[in-house]
Structure formats: C-alpha cells, structure tokens
Amino acid sequence: MVDSRDISEELKTPVYFDEDADLQVLAGPIAVIGYGNQGKAQALNLKDSGLEVVVGNIHDEYCDLAKRDGFEVLDIREAAVKANIILFLIPDELQPSIFEEQIKPALKKDKVLCFASGYNITFETISVRKDVDIILVAPRMIGRGVRESYVNGKGFYTFIGVHNNASGRAMDVALAIAKGIGSTKPGGAVLEVTFRQEAELDLFNEQCFGPAFGQVLTCAVDVAIEAGYPPEVVLLELYMSGEFAYTAEMIAKMGTLKQLELHSPTSQYGSMSRGMRYASPELREAMKQSLREIQNGSFAKEFAAEYEMDLEILDDMKEMAQDIPVVYFDDAVRKKLNKNRE
C-alpha cells in the first residue's frame, strides 16, 4: 500500500502539455498504416492540424473510405517508402506479418516508426533495426473519441514513449504527433511511459479490472433476480439506465471520493459502510496471478498459439457466454424496452 503522506514521491511520471510540443519537427509526409478505429481518427486529426498525410491500406472498404475522406491512399509498402514518419495503426495480432512483408523492407536510417500499442515491441514479436526511431503514441480512448474530442476542441490523455532514439529527437517527434492528433488541446495531457508499461497495464486493465467488474455485475444480477426482483428492473437499476455510466464519468472527472458528494447521504453511507465486505484477498491474488502471466510473457505466448488456431477457444468461450443469465436477460430486456425507439 502507498502511504498517502508520501504520495508526492510516487508521482514521478513526466507530464507534457501543448507548449511542450512543436509540430515543426514533423517534416515530410506522415504515413498512417491502417484506416480503421485509430487510423481514421488520427489521420483526419493530423491533416486538420496542417500536416501532410498519406494512408497505407489494403484494397478494402477502409481504403475506399480513406479516399472519400480526401486522402491519397497507397499500398502499405509504398506508403512506408514515401513517408519519413510511419504510424503503424493496425491490430496487434496482424502487425508482425505485415511488418515483415511490407514495413521492414521500407525502413531506412532516420525514419520513425510509431506504434499506438507497446505489445509487439514488449513481447518481441517485432524487431526493428537500430538506426530507426521507435516511438509510442497511445491515446487512452477509442478512435471515435479521439476524433470527436479534436473536432470539439478538447484534449485527451495520451501515453508516449521511446524505445529507440537513433536520431536523438525521438521524444520531440512523439510529442509532436500527440499534439497533431489533438491530445494537448485544453483538458488533455501527455504522459511519458515505457513500451512495457503501456503494454502490461493495457493487458492488466483488460484481464483484471474489466473481468473482475464483469463478475461483480453478473453476481449482482443473479442475486437480485434470485431474490425475486423483476429482471427488467434489475438491469435498469444496475447499469442499463446509464446512471452507472454517469457515475463512472464523474469518477474520471472528479475522483472516486469526491464524486460521492453527488449522491444522497443514504447512498454515501450505504456505500462506505458496506464496501469493505467486498475487499477480497482472493481477488487481489487472482489479479496478481494474471499480472504475473502478463509480465513473464506467458499470456503473449498463449495468445499467439490461440491466434494460430484461428481463435477457436475464444469462439467457444463466446458461445458458452450466451448461457449466462445476464447475457440473455440483457437481450430480452433491450428488445422489450426499445419498441418505442424503432
């Protein structure tokens, strides 16, 4: 546990703002590889920031979309050859093969390869030559949020990092890209991390915090329905009304304790007086075990094997999840309540 009296000693992560970044360091064309979730948002934001952007994509619907959005669209290798800075924004599991076949042959001294995830560098599924800058610019929200924030003049949080600084200016380039995509607009900030920190914490969130919350929600639904409460009312009370989502938003804006003031004294007292009942040592140990599997690379190896099997186990787990009460109740309740929205 961290002693709150010494918390200032723990807050050592460098934080950057708009005045710390300079778009002038982004000389020459920028290639955005992949026009999906993050690719579209970042390409549009960089273009709207006055930067020269080309898109590298296979010939599919995303290619057509990029053309409609006004971009020059090239084959992936051609885009990588043309650009000085390459934003590699395709899914982690697809990156290794595309890197070997399309990106690696195009790399040369003083180019910059930018990732939005530290996964493949951390777990060594991609190896890049030493005379290339390797940087990380990882917005902490999905692509749609990145674009909407930019259009609305709002910033957002982004992690940046440097894995290889061949040019001596890799951090300046990372900061400039973060600024170009809109992170340093009002309300945003850029935090410096390592590739490993970003990759491991992202997986920790996905494998520990998210699933633990899912189990709590499942348990709460089961207990309430078993006690005789109507499923429609239970699901609305727990999450479907949007009240919980609003509380989560206020936690992000105000903090876990301060947001309690938005609730009634009854709510505050009940939450704080009963909360310790759910402080489970077993939960803490389960999270530690999952974190160890992330840190030692065993999860990455496990997922690589699963991907080679065309995600068979994942498909089986999704099928099994259809029998969980909260899943089928959710579907039925939505159909019943949404009649007035059709």
- Residues 213 and 311 placed together within one structural domain of the fold: yes
- Residues 273 and 168 placed together within one structural domain of the fold: no
- Residues 300 and 174 placed together within one structural domain of the fold: no
Tell me, rounded to whole angstroms, the distance of Cα 342 from its chain centroid: 32
Compute φ and ψ for 239, nearest 5 degrees. -155, -25
| Helices (H), ranges, 123-190 | 143-151, 170-180
- Residues 284 and 174 placed together within one structural domain of the fold: no
CA-angle at 75, arms to 72 and 76, nearest 5°: 105
- Residues 252 and 323 placed together within one structural domain of the fold: yes
Long-range contact set of residues 216-224: C-beta below 8 Å, sequence gap at least 24? 216/278, 217/326, 218/324, 218/325, 218/326, 221/325, 221/326, 221/329, 222/325, 222/326
- Residues 188 and 202 placed together within one structural domain of the fold: no
- Residues 287 and 154 placed together within one structural domain of the fold: no
Rounded Cα distance between 158 and 181, Å, is 10
Quickly count: other Cβ atoms within 10 Å of residue 322's Cβ: 9
Rounded Cα distance between 200 and 194, Å, is 10
Last residue of a domain, one of 159, 174, 193: 193
CATH number of the domain encompassing residue 79: 3.40.50.720
Last residue of a domain, one of 193, 217, 238: 193
Quickly count: other Cβ atoms within 10 Å of residue 245's Cβ: 11
- Residues 182 and 228 placed together within one structural domain of the fold: no
Q: 79: which strand partners?
A: none
In the chain, how long is the greatest CA-to-CA distance? Answer: 68
- Residues 159 and 302 placed together within one structural domain of the fold: no
- Residues 143 and 211 placed together within one structural domain of the fold: no
Predicted local distance difference test score (pLDDT) of residue 272 = 93
Question: Which residue spans within the chain are E strands per DSSP?
Answer: 15-16, 30-33, 53-56, 72-74, 85-88, 112-115, 133-139, 157-164, 189-192
- Those residues of the chain that have pLDDT short of 50 are none
Predicted local distance difference test score (pLDDT) of residue 28 = 86
- Cα end-to-end distance, the chain, whole Å: 51
Quickly count: other Cβ atoms within 10 Å of residue 271's Cβ: 11
Rounded Cα distance between 52 and 185, Å, is 20
**CA distance to 6, 42, 136, 171, per residue, from 193 (Å):** 22, 20, 9, 11
Last residue of a domain, one of 175, 193, 211: 193
- Residues 238 and 171 placed together within one structural domain of the fold: no
- Residues 212 and 181 placed together within one structural domain of the fold: no
Domain count, the chain: 2
- Expressed as residue numbers, the domain containing 271 is 198-341
**CA distance to 189, 206, 254, 279, per residue, from 259 (Å):** 22, 24, 6, 20
